[in-house]
């Protein structure tokens, strides 16, 4: 018997709480609607639109500046890569010229052994391969 009466009280409190919740919810919606009417009346509506337009223009300008900065940074990075590859190619060409002159001087004096000459020629051929690879990379970067 007691459980039935407890269940009745629980149901009754649930009904009362839900009715109370619905009423407060509708009251809150009504007051919010009244506040919106006050804010958007006449001149305030125009001022609000002007402010919105200014904010939109400022956001658009900020996006444009950010995009330009990003493009400039990418261009600087690309230029640095191009410069580094150019320097690397020039350095390898100078080194090849030095090795070739050493080989020629050594052959003329007769001081270089054939094994040493072969090692130097191997270094020269490796450097030429490296130059070719770097030249291909440089060409790709220059296309960008």
pLDDT for res 25:
67
Q: For the purposes of burial, counting CB atoms within 10 Å of the CB of 31, is it exposed (0-12), middle (13-18) or buried (19 or more)?
A: exposed
- Please, which residues have CB within 8 angstroms of residue 92's CB and are 6 or more apart in sequence? 127, 130, 131, 134
Question: 19 pLDDT band (50/70/90 cuts)?
Answer: confident
pLDDT tens column, 39-81: 556 677 777 788 888 888 888 998 999 999 899 999 999 999 9
- Please, which residues have CB within 8 angstroms of residue 130's CB and are 6 or more apart in sequence? 92
Residue found by looking up tokens 């270089």 in the block: 112
Question: 31 pLDDT band (50/70/90 cuts)?
Answer: low
Q: For the purposes of burial, counting CB atoms within 10 Å of the CB of 114, is it exposed (0-12), middle (13-18) or buried (19 or more)?
A: exposed
Please report the sign of the dihedral spanned by the C-alpha atoms of residue 58, residue 64, residue 68, residue 71: positive
Query: Ranked by mean pLDDT, which of 37-46, 110-119, 132-141 comes out on top?
Result: 132-141
Mean per-residue pLDDT over the chain, rounded: 83
Higher pLDDT, 12 or 138: 138
């Amino acid at each position: 018997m007691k459980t039935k009466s407890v269940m009745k009280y629980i149901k009754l409190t649930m009904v009362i709480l839900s009715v109370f919740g619905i009423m407060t919810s509708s009251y809150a919606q009504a007051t919010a609607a009244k506040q919106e009417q006050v804010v958007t009346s006449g001149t305030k509506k125009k001022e609000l639109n002007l402010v919105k337009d200014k904010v939109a223009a400022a956001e658009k300008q900020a996006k444009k500046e950010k995009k330009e900065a990003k493009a400039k940074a990418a261009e600087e990075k690309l230029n640095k890569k191009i410069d580094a590859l150019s320097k690397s190619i020039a350095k390898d060409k100078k080194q090849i010229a030095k090795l070739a002159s050493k080989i020629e001087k050594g052959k003329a004096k007769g001081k270089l052994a054939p094994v040493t000459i072969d090692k130097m020629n191997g270094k020269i051929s490796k450097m030429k391969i490296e130059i070719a690879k770097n030249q291909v990379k440089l060409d790709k970067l220059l296309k960008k």
